[in-house]
Amino acid sequence: MKILNNKGNSLIPICVITIIVFMLLSVMLTYIATVNTVFRQKDKTTQILDNYLAFYSILVYNTIKQGDIPTDIYTSSLETDVITALGFTSDMQSKTDYNANGKIVCTMSRPTVETIDVDGVGIVVKYTLTVPLYIGSIKVTEVTVPIETTSTFQRK
């Protein structure tokens, strides 16, 4: 059978190009949203650590001011205090954040806390952040990102 009217055939490549462009745009927007989620969570963690270290430094300063010289500036409860400040209880292995619609935004694994030697107080927190990728309202996959955050409070 022969098509007698083929005037509309020139629109097919334009439609295919339009679909490909919108697919690429969708992938780019999903990537940008995922990276934004990771950076917001890292900034939030850094702010919590900085606030805790400022509080901890005041405690150390008050101890020194009262005449007690601490032999070890890092107490054994520092790790548990930092983990508690990040919102974890003793039995939690992960913490999940939800948006206003009830979708999972990200899941943070239980962090490990290490002290670092600086002229003052410093800690390094390592954890993994799992961010689900949604296309429309369907969860396609999860991206796991290892994150390391350093917070220091130096003497001046």
Q: Tens of pLDDT along 18-69?
A: 999 999 998 899 889 899 999 999 999 999 998 888 888 787 778 778 877 7
pLDDT of residue 35: 92
pLDDT of residue 76: 65
Residue corresponding to tokens 């961010």: 131
For 118-146, how does the pLDDT look when each residue is reduced to its tens digit (9 = 90+)?
776 788 999 999 999 887 778 889 999 99
Q: Is 145 left (phi over 0), alpha (psi -120 to 50) or beta?
A: beta
How many other C-beta atoms lie within 10 A of the C-beta of residue 13? 9
Q: Is the pTM of this model over 0.85?
A: no
Contact 84, 91 (CB under 8 A): no
